[in-house]
Amino acid sequence: MNIRRLFCLSIAVAFCLLSAQAQQPRPTAPKAEPANTDVQPQPYLLGPGDVVEVTVDQMTSPTRRVQVDADGYVSSLPFIEPVKAKCRTERQLQQDLATAYKQLIKEPYVSVMVLERNSRPPASISGAVRQSAKVPVLRRFKLNELIAASGGFTERAAGTIQILHTEPVMCPDVGQEVEGLPINGTAIPLEIVKIADLLKGTTNPFIRPGDLILVTEAEPVYVTGSVVSPGSIAIREDLTLSRALGMVGGARKEAKLSEVKIYRQIPGSINQEILKVDFAAIKKNQKPDVLLKPYDVIDVSEEGFTGPGVVKALAGILLGGLRPAVPIP
């Protein structure tokens, strides 16, 4: 009897343990991070030049290929008046056509499918990018996507991106800018974006159909004479003489720093002006640094030598002897 009771008690204890284990919470998989919803997918809105296929089942010739006319209407379908297609989606146009055909057919079944999207010119990008490109603007996308499509920036990028809007917004949202490039050339809608701001994510504008995007290229400054690595430097921002010499490795020991010459083109003239700079005094903070201009030629002569180093530099430039431009970090 005792053995039987002990056996029953063992079964009861085991059952309780299994029940408690079943009631313990199971580990859950970590929740996935929410997707980036910064740019929501938008349905395509029709415009002039687009080609659609319209099917009305009850018609003798049910399927027709029609083009949206210059005024934004589907105007070549038989038996009905023109129906507006501009800024309408496939589904909206389908509903409007069904309403129009109800005057002739009791329960018309209409379907619409976009065959060609011709209403929006591509956006073009050129300048200091790996590859100039024309990108169709069939959805809303941003500047960084266009830069990626062109392969990214080159070392010649000057630091700014110019976006010229050549077309008005076809289907503007409430409060959205609608103007494009004006015919009379005034109030040109030009947007300037700094590359640094784009990379930091503080600005990233939407690209519109027909936009012309130019990644500006840096203009050069040339350094020759008694420096470690003579060559050209691409100006991305304000560039001083001290920084320019530092970027070519600095002056050599035999350099005459008390008289560095800067050959600068005179605007509107074929002549140059020669600036004599006491760089030794600049290094000692006794004189202000010199701000350079594009196409300046800096000649650092040697002590006891007054040879025409700049002539050699210009000859090297013409013959392609100088090394490629050194970009500013």
Q: CA torsion sign, 66 to 72 to 74 to 79?
A: negative
Q: What is the pLDDT, as a whole number, of residue 29? A: 32
Is residue 267 domain-shared with residue 318, that is, in the same domain? yes
> Is position 145 within any domain?
yes
Is residue 143 domain-shared with residue 227, that is, in the same domain? no
Q: CA torsion sign, 145 to 51 to 84 to 164?
A: positive
Q: How far apart are CA 301 and CA 284, in angstroms?
A: 19
Which domain-ending residue is among 201, 217, 233? Answer: 217
Is residue 128 domain-shared with residue 194, that is, in the same domain? yes
Residue 97 belongs to what domain range? 51-116
Is residue 82 domain-shared with residue 98, that is, in the same domain? yes
pTM above 0.95, yes or no: no
Is residue 233 domain-shared with residue 320, that is, in the same domain? yes
CATH of the domain at 321: 3.10.560.10
> Is position 46 within any domain?
no
Is residue 322 domain-shared with residue 230, that is, in the same domain? yes
Q: How far apart are CA 89 and CA 272, in angstroms?
A: 62
- Total domain count, the chain: 3
Task: Provide the H-helix boundaries in 24-170.
Answer: 90-101, 143-149
Is residue 229 domain-shared with residue 297, that is, in the same domain? yes
Is residue 176 domain-shared with residue 132, that is, in the same domain? yes
CATH of the domain at 65: 3.30.1950.10
Tens-binned pLDDT, residue by residue, of the chain (329 aa) = 455 554 454 555 444 444 444 444 433 333 333 334 444 567 889 999 999 999 999 888 899 999 999 999 999 999 999 999 999 999 999 999 999 999 888 889 999 999 999 999 999 999 999 999 999 988 888 999 999 999 999 988 988 999 998 888 888 876 665 666 665 656 678 889 999 999 999 999 999 999 999 999 988 999 999 999 999 988 877 899 999 999 999 999 999 999 999 999 998 888 889 999 999 999 999 999 999 999 999 999 987 654 444 444 444 444 444 444 444 44
Is residue 171 domain-shared with residue 203, that is, in the same domain? yes
